[in-house]
Amino acid sequence: MPITQTHELHQRRFSRNLGLGAVLLAFVVLVFGLTVVKVNRGDKMEAYDHQPRASVLPVAPEAKQ
């Protein structure tokens, strides 16, 4: 059900909600930034998932280059 009436509470908490919104947005940016960094660095993108796969085996240093 959409909120059709503005309660006095909405004004009272406006700054708090604005702050929380900014924090959540910053969190999204942070996780995205981390992803970009880790992908660029060539980190392992998969983990073990109940089946042995060649793609999750550690890469030998000489094969990396």
Partner 1 sequence: MSDISYIDRSGEAQFGDFVALLKPRVMSLVVFTAFVGLVVAPMPVHPFVAFTAILFIALGGGASGALNMWYDADIDRVMRRTANRPIPAGRVSEGEALGFGLALAGISCVMLALASNIFAGAFLAFTIFFYVIVYTVWLKRRTPQNIVIGGAAGAFPPMIGWAVATGGISLESVAMFMIIFLWTPPHFWSLALFMKDDYSNAGVPMLTVTHGRRTTRKQILIYSLILAPVAVGAAFTSIGGPVYLAAALVLNALFIRGAWRLWRRDEEVAQAEKYSAEKRYFYFSLLYLFGHFSALLVEKGLGFFGMGGW
**Which residue of 1, 5, 16, 42 would you call a contact of partner 1, by CB under 8 A?**
16
CB of 64 to partner 1, least distance (A): 17
Cα distances from 64 to residues 8, 37, 58, 61, in angstroms, run 61, 18, 10, 5
- Cβ proximity to partner 1: between 8 and 54 the closer is 8
CA distance 35 to 29: 10
* Residues in contact with partner 1 by the rule CB under 8 A: 8-9, 12-13, 15-16, 18-20, 30, 33-34, 37, 41
